[in-house]
Amino acid sequence: MEPKENGNQSDHVIEGPTNPMVTPLLNDLYQFTMAYAYWKANKQNERSVFDLYFRKNPFGGEYTVFAGLDECIKFLANFKLTNQEIDYVRDSLPGSEEAFCDYLRGLDCSDVEVYAIPEGSVVFPKVPLMRVEGPVGVVQLLETPFLNLVNFASLVATNAARHRFVAGKSKSLLEFGARRAQGPDGAISASKYCYLGGFDATSNVAAGKLFGIPLRGTHSHAFVSSFMSTDEIVDKVLHSADGETTCEDFVSLVQTWLTKIQYLPSLRGFFSETNQSELAAFISYALAFPKAFLALVDTYDVMKSGIPNFCAVALALNDLGYKALGIRLDSGDLAYLSTETRKFFCTVENELKVPGFGKMVVTASNDLNEETIDALNKQGHEVDAFGIGTYLVTCYAQAALGCVFKLVEINNQPRIKLSEDVTKVSIPCKKRSYRLYGKEGYPLVDIMTGENEPPPKVGERLLCRHPFNESKRAYVVPQRVEELLKCYWRGSADEAREELPPLKDIRDRCIKQLENMRSDHMRRLNPTPYKVSVSAKLYDFIHFLWLNEAPVGELQ
């Protein structure tokens, strides 16, 4: 994360966004109508500063994980309209002059600067995630793509972090959302950003390949019901794990174990005949993956069929030196079933003297979310791994984050956007922002200042003011000061700027930052808001500008 020395990256070409559909046309038409109007008014090159930020943390929480920066920079670095795209834009702006096409043809981001908080950071409302500076004509064309690339990325990363928080560090969290996601890259980007937010693996093969995320997956109910009986299994041979011996009839070996389990003293009468199509499916799966046997046990009846069938196959594998992985539950009362399953495994371990059998992995899937995991925790359960799909990847609890992109300065003139709703008033000026840490190492407050104010100093008392609420202010003596906005783009890939780290490093940053937050900001119920402030000087200026721009009402 150290800035590269000047020129160090001169032969680096930044590759394009993951999705080739991310082009300058992934844009609202009004960005082009405005570009045309700026150009007509000869304003297109006026130097402008825009802040990208959100106003409210999602999911009723008090924190957000910032994600999507990498894709924004890749988009920026490759920003160029093709002739075909330019023709389409021209045809979409009736009455536009041909010379505007020349302007579009020449557009790139060589005169744009992007400062941003590093991706994977924990971030808060109102503090700019990105500060984008450059000619107003081109910067305006970055608004929609940047918002699109940041909004969902940050939302789903935050959702993942929240799921991790409730599940706890020791559980495996698997993202299983591809089928229910909002379209193809709703799936692929959810996989990417859930991993960033602290998940361990995904089922999504494309995302695994693109981003190096560990993959997980075994089989479905259809696989189980595609078998009729064990008679279908033709090749019954299985070599032992060490290759030394060969079992000629693995099916019979399994059946022998099934009978043994059935007559174990503590399991007598627990189950009678198990489902034969299920047994055949488990055996076939074990023959295909003897080293990685994990079975879905709820196609017919978990305790009377799935678990006994699984144990029989696992014990047969054990005879040949293989260690089965465990089971997956995809329906029913997961607290009850996981606990019963664990008991069953422990009975097998104890009565058949198979060390470790009780520790078999129990994976649960079936419409899980923050609330259901929290409820499972309260009831007590024996789940080791959660496979989470729909609610995670679509951010069902809150399907959108409201990042905005606001003009804060043009031609060195600070600009403010007013609104009757005070939470929608923008904070004007090209700004810097800092995170101030307290004695215990936790972040205490974020503060925004004007660009030319001196930075806060360690050990020096500083007044932090709420940007809009006169009475909310506090003195802080920071023990550490971190400047939040770092340079990620200054005209080209050659210039001195932060590197774009690999996804794994961004994930590490995210996990570390989340761990370093004071716990009252993180809890699910009534979390304490993290404080976001402005300097006294910026406060005064905001309110000066506000009064200046707002019309005086007249009561009638």
Is 37 buried (19+), middle (13-18) or exposed (0-12) by CB count in 10 A?
Answer: middle
> Hey, which bits of 272-341 come out as E strands?
294-296, 326-329
**Segment near a copy of itself (CB under 8 A); pick from 83-91, 435-443, 454-462, 532-540:** 83-91
Q: Pick between residue 154 and residue 433 the one whose CB is nearest to a copy of itself.
A: 154
Q: Pick between residue 67 and residue 166 the one whose CB is nearest to a copy of itself.
A: 67
Q: Pick between residue 26 and residue 352 the one whose CB is nearest to a copy of itself.
A: 26
Q: Least distance (Å) from a copy of itself to the CB of residue 264?
A: 17
Phi, psi of 195 (to 5 degrees): -60, -50
Is 101 among the residues that bind a copy of itself (CB under 8 A)? no
Is 309 among the residues that bind a copy of itself (CB under 8 A)? no
- The DSSP element (H or E) to which 82 belongs, if any, is none
Q: Pick between residue 2 and residue 554 the one whose CB is nearest to a copy of itself.
A: 554
**Segment near a copy of itself (CB under 8 A); pick from 4-12, 39-47, 105-113, 522-530:** 39-47
Choose which of 114, 157, 407, 462 interacts with a copy of itself (CB under 8 A): 407
**Segment near a copy of itself (CB under 8 A); pick from 3-11, 84-92, 257-265, 489-497:** 84-92
Q: Pick between residue 81 and residue 476 the one whose CB is nearest to a copy of itself.
A: 81
The dihedral built from the CA positions of residue 166, 389, 188 and 402, taken in this order, carries a sign that is negative
State the Cα–Cα distance between residues 204 and 191, nearest whole angstrom: 7
Choose which of 45, 331, 479, 492 interacts with a copy of itself (CB under 8 A): 331
Site for a copy of itself in 185-224 (CB under 8 A): 185-190, 203-206, 208-209, 215-223
Number of residues that bind a copy of itself (CB under 8 A): 127
Cβ burial 495-520 (10 Å sphere, 16+ → b, else e): eebbebbebeebbebbbebbeebeee
Q: Pick between residue 37 and residue 481 the one whose CB is nearest to a copy of itself.
A: 37
Q: Least distance (Å) from a copy of itself to the CB of residue 414?
A: 10
**Segment near a copy of itself (CB under 8 A); pick from 160-168, 410-418, 468-476, 526-534:** 410-418
Choose which of 121, 154, 159, 305 interacts with a copy of itself (CB under 8 A): 305
State the Cα–Cα distance between residues 281 and 17, nearest whole angstrom: 42
- The DSSP element (H or E) to which 46 belongs, if any, is none
**Segment near a copy of itself (CB under 8 A); pick from 125-133, 343-351, 408-416, 526-534:** 408-416
**Segment near a copy of itself (CB under 8 A); pick from 347-355, 388-396, 484-492, 522-530:** 388-396
Phi, psi of 386 (to 5 degrees): -110, 130
Is 343 among the residues that bind a copy of itself (CB under 8 A)? no
Query: Is 306:276 a contact under the CB 8 Å cutoff?
Result: no
The residues near 404 (Cβ < 8 Å, ≥ 6 apart) are 52, 53, 54, 55, 147
State the Cα–Cα distance between residues 74 and 457, nearest whole angstrom: 34
Write the interaction track for a copy of itself spanning residues 231-270; mark x where CB under 8 A is met and - where it is not.
Answer: -xxxx-----------------------------------
Residue 144 in 3-state DSSP? helix
Q: Least distance (Å) from a copy of itself to the CB of residue 362?
A: 17
Site for a copy of itself in 490-549 (CB under 8 A): 549
The residues near 531 (Cβ < 8 Å, ≥ 6 apart) are 444, 445, 446, 464, 474
Strand order in the sheet with 385-388: 201-202, 172-175, 385-388, 361-364, 326-329, 294-296
Q: How many CB atoms lie within 10 A of CB 21?
A: 10
Is 64 among the residues that bind a copy of itself (CB under 8 A)? no
Is 72 buried (19+), middle (13-18) or exposed (0-12) by CB count in 10 A?
Answer: buried
Is 338 among the residues that bind a copy of itself (CB under 8 A)? no
Query: Is 309:278 a contact under the CB 8 Å cutoff?
Result: yes
Is 314 among the residues that bind a copy of itself (CB under 8 A)? no
Q: Pick between residue 235 and residue 440 the one whose CB is nearest to a copy of itself.
A: 235
Choose which of 9, 28, 468, 501 interacts with a copy of itself (CB under 8 A): 28
Choose which of 45, 390, 479, 492 interacts with a copy of itself (CB under 8 A): 390
Q: Helix/strand/coil (H, E, C) string of 325-393?
A: CEEEECCCCHHHHHHHHHHHHHHHHHHHCCCCHHHCEEEECCCCCHHHHHHHHHHCCCCCEEEECHHHH
State the Cα–Cα distance between residues 388 and 417, nearest whole angstrom: 40
Q: Least distance (Å) from a copy of itself to the CB of residue 371?
A: 15
Site for a copy of itself in 146-185 (CB under 8 A): 147-149, 151-153, 156, 176, 178-185
Closest CA to 529 of 472, 476, 470: 472
Is 57 among the residues that bind a copy of itself (CB under 8 A)? no
State the Cα–Cα distance between residues 494 and 500, nearest whole angstrom: 13
Q: Least distance (Å) from a copy of itself to the CB of residue 45?
A: 12
Choose which of 23, 154, 159, 318 interacts with a copy of itself (CB under 8 A): 23
The dihedral built from the CA positions of residue 393, 167, 363 and 174, taken in this order, carries a sign that is positive
**Segment near a copy of itself (CB under 8 A); pick from 107-115, 125-133, 397-405, 449-457:** 397-405
Q: Least distance (Å) from a copy of itself to the CB of residue 548?
A: 11
Q: What is the DSSP letter of 438?
A: -
Phi, psi of 514 (to 5 degrees): -65, -40
Q: Pick between residue 116 and residue 522 the one whose CB is nearest to a copy of itself.
A: 116
Closest CA to 338 of 302, 301, 391: 302
Choose which of 360, 416, 485, 522 interacts with a copy of itself (CB under 8 A): 416
Q: Pick between residue 141 and residue 445 the one whose CB is nearest to a copy of itself.
A: 141
State the Cα–Cα distance between residues 429 and 467, nearest whole angstrom: 13
**Segment near a copy of itself (CB under 8 A); pick from 162-170, 279-287, 308-316, 441-449:** 279-287
Is 27 among the residues that bind a copy of itself (CB under 8 A)? yes
Choose which of 237, 400, 458, 496 interacts with a copy of itself (CB under 8 A): 400
Q: Residue written as tokens 């996981």?
A: 338
